[in-house]
Structure 1
Amino acid sequence: MKGGRSKAEDNGNDTKLKSRGAKAGKRKAKAAKDPNKPKRPPSAFFVFMEEFRVQFKRENPDNKSVAAVGKAGGEKWKSMSDAEKAPYVAKAESRKNDYNKSMKAYNKKLADGENGVEENESDKSKSEVNDEDEDGSGTAEEDEDDD
């Protein structure tokens, strides 16, 4: 049989499946994203696609496929010369400079401690947390002293 495994070869060793299953449980939780962090700037191609989508929808109003728009935009971008791409590259550079300025300001705010995100660990106020400690929910050492 071409390309297939024989039963003699398959002796019950599914090491690939076992190793994948072991790794699946060790995934780390993602860190929370800061909503105040500036978004990364688009590349020259995505700046081009912003204009191309509008033009494509005007020419093809009945087309509902996102894939078709992306495919047509990619083909158009590849066929363009560097001179035709230059305005989009310039816009992308301008947006990148704006992004770098806003990131510097954002990082400065973080360094100053003004990130605007509350750092409370729970919904309980501090007085409620202190009340629970005083309720007599003591440790084992305190219980031994009572005897």
Structure 2
Amino acid sequence: MKAAKSKSDTKNSGRLAVKKREAPAVKKAPAKKAKDTKDPNKPKRPASAFFVFMEDFRKQYKEKHPNNKSVSVVGKAGGDKWKSLSAAEKAPFVAKAEKRKAEYDKTLQAYNKKLTEGKDAEEDEGEESDKSKSEVHDDDDDDDDSAEVIYLINY
């Protein structure tokens, strides 16, 4: 005995029921600030004591394990070694890091001083040039405003 078909069965007999989903929301990138632009002349921050240690450790590790190509293995081994060191064993690396930090502070102060001197000079020049920039008019541009645009369509 056959079962009776409902109206919905006959209506969609050849189709699969597919639920439509909404398109995922597009995330907007945060607006970039003017301060985000990096100055290539700015001195780089010094390495911490751990990274000073890793400079030496990488060389030693590479000598012992010449076939290792994985950076993550070296990093994990270095981290484990650093944790196992005592304060006395870490002292030379901390001293090197502090020395680099002192040098960085000196170069950063010189850099900031140079920036402030440069901005003062630009402000003095900027007062004179603002007026001349705003009053520049080109007569050639007036002719282009009244020109008609013609589109050619090929069939």
TM range (shorter): 0.5 to 0.7
State whether structure 2 residue 49 is matched by structure 1 residue 32.
no
Whole-angstrom distance in 2 between the partners of 1:40 and 1:106? 13
Supply the AA of the counterpart residue of 1:68. Answer: V
Amino acid at match of 2:76: K
Q: Percent identity?
A: 58
Q: Which has the larger Rg?
A: 2
Q: Which runs of 5 or more residues in structure 2 are unaligned?
A: 1-21, 120-135, 147-155
- 1:37-64 C-alpha deviation (Å, 9 max, x unpaired): 0000010000000000000000000000
Give 2:78's aligned residue: 73
Q: Could you list the per-position Cα deviations for residues 107-133 of structure 1 after superposition, in whole angstroms to 9, with x for gaps in the alignment?
A: 00100117xxxxxxxxxxxxxxx5x72
Q: Secondary structure at the match of 2:44?
A: coil
**Does residue 110 of structure 1 match 2:115?**
yes
Structure 1 residue runs of 5 or longer lacking an equivalent are 1-13, 115-129
Match of residue 87, structure 1, among 73, 88, 92: 92
Q: How many residues are aligned here?
A: 109
Q: Distance in 2 between matches of 1:25 and 1:53?
A: 40
Match of 1:48 in 2: 53
Deviation at 1:67, TM superposition (A): 0.3
Q: Distance in 2 between matches of 1:136 and 1:73?
A: 66
Residue type of the alignment partner of 2:65: N
1: distance between equivalents of 2:41 and 2:88?
36
Superposition deviation, residue 26 in structure 1: 5.0
Cα distance between partner residues in 2 of 1:26 and 1:74: 34
Q: 1:85: Cα distance to partner?
A: 0.1
Calculate the TM-score normalised by the size of structure 2. Answer: 0.61
